[in-house]
A and B are shown apart, each in its own frame.
Chain A
Amino acid sequence: MKKLCVCFVVFGILVPNAVLATEPVKIGMVTTLSTKAGYLGEEVRDGFKLAIAQEEGKLGGVPVELLVEDDGRDPGKAKQIADRFMKRDGVKIMTGIIFSNVALAVVPKVVRSEVLYISPNAGPSDLAGKGCNENYFNVAYQNDNLDEVVGKYVSDAGFKNVYLLAPNYPAGKDHLAGFKRYYTGKISGEVYTKLGQADYAAEIATLRAAKPDAVFFFLPGGMGINFLKQYSQAGLNKTIPVFGPAFSFDERLLGAVGAAALGVKNGSQWTQDLDNPANKQFVAAFRAAYGRTPTLYASQGYEAARLIGSALKSVGGDVNKLDQLRAAVRKADFESVRGQFAFTTNQHPIQNLYIREVVEDGKGGYTNQTLKTVFTDHGNAYVDACKMK
């Protein structure tokens, strides 16, 4: 019996790569596919799957198996799924979480369990600052990035009296803080609305009375649709321009907002028209595969997959070599659809940030067009707060 064990151990040491090569690397994706926000997870998943399909079931030449589970936007449920992925499936790489509150519940335990987590969306300040961890990477953005770019742009464009609007919950306050970090003018009013509020007539009337020269809002999902429609019905879109992060202006939401969003400028790290070969190839392939224009979330899912692919390639598919795998992820040696891409020391993107404008796509729908590069090689505000060596 003892001999047999030794035999196995020796065998295990000698030919690990050969054994692993036959068994695909499992990647666990915890994401939001149900509830109103379900389309976000759908986009991330579809972008990720596209990268795998382009390599015919592989990432970086290594066969992979993608396990997808719906967290229903529920932190408790997401934790259970993550546990199951780690314990039952022995997953060593995870990704997929959409919402910051879900990420804050799941990620700390995952990264403590020596599993790599690559965030394709949620980038709460906590995980970038004092809660940073060597096993946590965000390939999309730090949450404040998309507000910072708008703050800078609005200041540069000469707006001096801006009215702010966000839902009354932690992320709402974070996003307004991100805007204020680079905005230099006066704040005409700062209003926190109910989370999930449907009717903004009261806020819009108060806003009009305050006579600001611009409005900045962070109202994700249906809230943003409601606000934009009612804002344009009140006729204010012709007199007081609105600005916001890209979250209310992705291609799938734009269909529901319609002409009310036309011409609105919003901040993003990616647009479908970015001029680089990797992006052109991605947008064309995504359209061919799914018959729709990818949103920024789809690009983030795709980037997560490609980043993981680059790391898998450098370790030959052996996910048990965690140190080497992590070092390879840190290098970010992949062709990003955003052009230049690298990681900060707290493992969030260093990337360009853009202002884009909502335009007609010529097929009766709406899309975004890049207007201006506001930040080049922009990191995030939490690098110093992260004590990671």
Chain B
Amino acid sequence: MPSFICLATGEVGVFMLLVIEQILNGLQLGVTLFLMSAGLTLVFGIMRVINLAHGSFYMIGAYVAATITAYSGSFLLGLVAALSAAALVGMLVEVLVLRRLYKKEHVEQVLATFGLIMFFNELTRIIWGRQPMFMDVPSWLSSSVEIIPGIPYPSYRIAVIGVGLLVALFLYLMFTHTRIGMQIRAGASNREMAGALGINIRLLYTLVFGLGTLLAGLAGVMAGPILAVEAGMGESILILTFVVIVIGGIGSVRGAFIGALLVGMVDTLGRAFLPALFRMFLSTAHADGVAASVASMLIYILMALILVWRPKGLLPAHA
């Protein structure tokens, strides 16, 4: 790793390339987090439900995609099946479980959705067994691309970034330019009034929840070829997702987008460059340990600082 002190002029170029590559990595993590947090923040902001089980739909997406891809050999078929499964199971959960929780306290929502996490984790173990599943990058995305000369970057990761940005654009257009988007916003700001104006709130909630879980499923599908597809995989990303929506402002999709990119960047760049930074002040062995600890705290420090500055997050939905 090029330490900051001993950068010769020739090394500066190499170092800059590394920085660009790490920014791409940060962007990719950020975009994945956005897909997760968009759904979670919608449900939170519109339906006022804390849904801890959001990570389970990420897991369902990954498992269904891995299974269907393995059977059919087609990644796209796996993708379609996974998105339908995540959306359908999501809507089913809304109708069977969440609908009973809208008027309840947050504690009860947390307990019920935490129960759902355990239910889905055990269910996947029963259906797919204990060992992790295998899922590969589709062959048409398995190469590397040199976007900038000197940095071969996996095309799959570029595709992930592309899909994430497209989804962000799609959500933006949907909320600002379509009837359903308007109804969702109306339902969010005043449920009773929207209902009185003839919007079927029940149906709307089911659809919004299904959309949220579909996005989580999409994040799961895209993570499948990069990560281990295993029971409980949703929980590790869920914590980051909560950090994102708190930073972005609960209920705001735009805030989730900014929060996700911020968390993705800070986390990635921290992990990448803190060790070199600490080596300027400390002995190598010591620096590595300290840097590792600080890097894992960094996003929480970021969250704390942002909350001190703007207690409701960067772009609160009901400011």
Given the known inter-chain contacts A205-B272, A209-B1, A256-B229, please indicate yes or no for A192 contacting B132, CB distance below 8 A: no
Is B157 among interface residues, defined by CB-CB distance under 8 A?
Answer: yes
Closest to B232 in A: A36
**Contact for A168 among B1, B232, B269, B293, CB less than 8 A:** B293
CB atoms of A253 and B226 under 8 A apart: no
Chain A 189-229, CB-CB to B under 8 Å as 1, else 0, gives 11111101011011101100110000000000111011001
CB atoms of A229 and B227 under 8 A apart: yes
Query: A209 to chain B: which residues have CB within 8 Å?
Result: 1-2, 14-15, 18
Chain B 113-155, CB-CB to A under 8 Å as 1, else 0, gives 0000000000001000011111011000010100000001010
How near does chain B come to A173, taking the closest CB pair, in angstroms? 8
Main secondary structure of the interface of B (DSSP, over half): helix
Closest to A259 in B: B136
- Count residues of A near B (Cβ-Cβ below 8 Å): 39
**Contact for B137 among A191, A222, A226, A233, CB less than 8 A:** A233
A63 CA to B228 CA, complexed, in Å = 42
CB atoms of B18 and A206 under 8 A apart: yes
- Count residues of B near A (Cβ-Cβ below 8 Å): 50
A190 CA to B275 CA, complexed, in Å = 9
A223 CA to B231 CA, complexed, in Å = 13
A203 CA to B285 CA, complexed, in Å = 17
A138 CA to B133 CA, complexed, in Å = 31
Residues A232-283 near B (CB distance < 8 A): 233-235, 252-253, 255-259
Residues B186-208 near A (CB distance < 8 A): none
**Contact for A222 among B132, B285, B288, CB less than 8 A:** B132
Given the known inter-chain contacts A39-B131, A194-B296, please indicate yes or no for A199 contacting B1, CB distance below 8 A: no
Residue of B25, B132, B228, B236 contacting most chain A CB atoms (<10 Å): B228
Query: A210 to chain B: which residues have CB within 8 Å?
Result: 1
A35 CA to B237 CA, complexed, in Å = 17
Residues B219-260 near A (CB distance < 8 A): 223, 225-233, 236-237
CB atoms of A201 and B236 under 8 A apart: no
Given the known inter-chain contacts A201-B28, A256-B132, A256-B133, please indicate yes or no for A191 contacting B227, CB distance below 8 A: no
A222 CA to B227 CA, complexed, in Å = 8
Closest to B276 in A: A206
CB atoms of B25 and A191 under 8 A apart: no
Residues B1-55 near A (CB distance < 8 A): 1-2, 14-15, 18, 21-22, 25-26, 28-29
Given the known inter-chain contacts A194-B296, A205-B22, A225-B228, please indicate yes or no for A257 contacting B134, CB distance below 8 A: yes
CB atoms of B22 and A256 under 8 A apart: no
How near does chain A come to B89, taking the closest CB pair, in angstroms? 21
Query: B152 to chain A: which residues have CB within 8 Å?
Result: 234-235
Is A42 among interface residues, defined by CB-CB distance under 8 A?
Answer: yes
Query: B137 to chain A: which residues have CB within 8 Å?
Result: 233
**Contact for A191 among B134, B233, B292, CB less than 8 A:** B292
Q: List 12 A-B contacts (CB under 8 A).
A: A36-B230, A193-B271, A194-B292, A194-B296, A199-B227, A202-B26, A202-B272, A209-B14, A225-B132, A229-B225, A253-B132, A255-B134
Extra A-B contacts (19), CB below 8 Å, given A168-B296, A225-B132, A233-B154: A190-B285, A190-B288, A192-B289, A193-B271, A196-B236, A198-B236, A199-B29, A201-B25, A201-B28, A203-B272, A205-B272, A222-B233, A226-B228, A233-B225, A234-B144, A234-B152, A235-B144, A256-B230, A259-B136
Residues of A within 8 A of B (CB): 35-36, 38-39, 42, 168, 189-194, 196, 198-199, 201-203, 205-206, 209-210, 221-223, 225-226, 229-230, 233-235, 252-253, 255-259
